[in-house]
Amino acid sequence: MAASLLRTNHKNPIIHMPGQTKNPLDLHKEIKAKNIEVRDGKIITTASSSLDTEIPRGEVLDITAWLPYASKHYKVSNDISDYLIVPVFTIPTGLPNRNGIAFDLKSLVDFCPERGMQYYKTFKGQPVQYEHKNDDITKAKGVIADVYMKKLQGYGGGRVYKILELLCIDRTKDPDLARRVLDKDINSYSMGAYVGESLCSYCGKPVGKCPHINPKQAVVFYEKDGHIVHRIMRKVIGFETSIVASPAWTTATSDFVTPISDGNDLRSLMESERNQIEFG
């Protein structure tokens, strides 16, 4: 199934893309076990855990400083111990997926004057929703504590990165949903973002002003002169990430990426579901 591209009253189109989750943590238990410490209004990782494998030990999260203010808008708890924290990988840079969409690294790290931060950081502080029901922020299930950019290990000579979001899910807002997340009965997530630019990977022109991509076609992913023709998304501004029962498409659970060495490999990639570009 293709990623969703739709229009709203916002000046830019919206894209929804799936993410891959790691193990969720119960912050109440982690704080009690002293794996995570709350000090001077900040969360500090202090011991080995599934979170520590993704975030360096001693990393400081400032969510407790602004959660009391955000909670009033999202109608969620202002007590950090009421939350689960779920690391979710949402965007690999430069790698087109089977929907024919890639995200430009240079644009993700560029500064967004509209939000006063780098583009990839714009997800921080946004709500965690359920099934992209984001018209009403008071229905939020939690909040995005922070966003990180990490290298994709073992591929691309250190030039490929992936975006990690830390989702905080309120156990008191929807106890049943939180339990299912903690038990990994639900482990699918999907980010929602505004897209400022969509470019053709073959000619570099905006989609709609080049002959290689039909802007009305949801999925464009084909070979031309040894190149993969696909959309390159730039100026991506995050506005939510959702817990979803079924992702738009499957993602892999490792950092392995199948290299494309020639046209035959590319055709096999496009024709066979078994040979996926994988990212963690």
pLDDT tens digit sequence for 28-81: 677 666 767 776 656 666 655 555 455 655 667 788 889 999 999 999 999 988
Residues of the chain with pLDDT under 50: 1-10, 16, 52, 248-280
- Whether 57 is covered by a domain: the verdict is no
Taking the C-alpha atoms of residue 75 and residue 141, their distance in angstroms, rounded to an integer, is: 9
- Whether 152 is covered by a domain: the verdict is yes
Beta strands in 93-230 (DSSP E): 101-103, 111-112, 117-118, 127-130, 142-151, 161-170, 188-200, 222-224, 227-229
- Whether 46 is covered by a domain: the verdict is no
- Whether 193 is covered by a domain: the verdict is yes
- Whether 237 is covered by a domain: the verdict is yes
Number of independent structural domains in the chain: 1
Question: Which pTM value belongs to this model?
Answer: 0.75
Provide the residue range defining the domain that includes 252: 4-20+83-271
- Whether 102 is covered by a domain: the verdict is yes
101-103 vs 188-200, strand pairing mode: unpaired
- Whether 242 is covered by a domain: the verdict is yes
- Whether 154 is covered by a domain: the verdict is yes
